[in-house]
Structure 1
Amino acid sequence: MSWEYLKRKWDERKEFLNNARHYVRLIKEVCVKKVDPECRVILFGSVARGNYRDDSDVDVLIITDKAKGIWDKVNIEVIIERELNIGDPFEFHVVTNSEYENWYKKFIDIYEEF
C-alpha cells in the first residue's frame, strides 16, 4: 500500500468522524426509504459523548423489527453502506425493538436519536 492511499483513507475517516451527525442523518434517510419506514437510528458511544479520538468508531444503533435474523441484519448494513458508500469508521448495531429494550437500552447512557 502506498503512503498516498493510507493518507487518503485516514483523511476520509477524519471527515466521517468530524461530520458524523450529518452522516447519521443520511443513514436514517436510507433506513426509512429502503429498509423500514418505522426504523429508529441512534448515535451513541464516544462520538455522542463528545470524547472521540481519531481512531474511534462511530457507533450507530439501527432499531427495526425487520432485523429478525443475522442475515437480515447484515443485509441492512450492506444496503446502507452501498447506498452511502460508507464503511469504516461506522460500526452498525442492527437490532430489533425487543433487543434494544432488553439489552442496549440498559447500557447506553448518552445518545442522540435521529
Structure 2
Amino acid sequence: MQTKTWTLRIAEVIKQHYPDAKIIFFGSRIRGNYLKDSDYDIIVISKAFKGEHFTKRATEVLRTLWNAGVVGDFEVLCYTPEEFERKKKSLGIVKEALREGIVV
C-alpha cells in the first residue's frame, strides 16, 4: 500500500478511537527516503491521554490499529496537548516532527 493511502487509513482508525486527536506523521516514510522495512513514525496528541502512563498510551493506540486490521511497524509517541506544547519548545523529536512532518 502506498505511504499516503496507508497514513490516511492509520489516521482514520486513530481518529475513530480518539476523535480529538491531532496526528503527525514524520520520519523517513514522509521524507520519501524509507527502506522496505522502515517503520511509520507517528505522534498522537489527545486529551484522552491525560492521567494515563506514557507507555500505556502507545500500547492502546497500537492495539486500536491492530484491532482494525492496520498492522505494521509503528513508532508511536502519545502526548496530551499540554505535554506537546512543552515538548515542541525544546530540541528533540517533537521539534523534528513539526519541521518535517504532516499534520492530520
The two structures have a TM-score, normalised by structure 2, of: 0.74
Q: What SS is found at the alignment partner of 1:26?
A: helix
User: How much has 1:39 moved relative to structure 2?
Assistant: 0.6
Amino acid at match of 2:101: Y
Matched residue pairs, number? 95
Q: Residues 73 and 95 of structure 1 are in contact (CA less than 8 Å); yes or no, is this contact kept in structure 2? A: no
Pairwise CA RMSD of aligned residues? 1.9
Match of 1:59 among 41, 62, 68: 41
The answer for unaligned runs of 5 or more in structure 1 is 1-14
Structure 2: which 5+ residue stretches go unaligned? 88-92
Larger Rg: 1
* Residues in 2 aligned to 1:46 and 1:30: alpha-carbon distance in whole angstroms: 22
Alignment TM-score, normalising by the size of structure 1: 0.69
Q: Tell me: higher relative CO, structure 1 or 2? Use CA pairs within 8 A at least 6 residues apart.
A: 2
Q: CA deviation at 1:30?
A: 1.5
Residue identity over aligned pairs, in percent, reads 27
Is the counterpart of residue 25 in structure 1 residue 15 in structure 2? no
1:81 match: 66
Q: 1:97 to 1:53 in 2, by over 3 A?
A: same
User: Who is 2:90 aligned against?
Assistant: none
| Partner in structure 2 of residue 98 of structure 1 | 82
**In the aligned structure 2, how far is the partner of 1:84 from the partner of 1:92?**
17
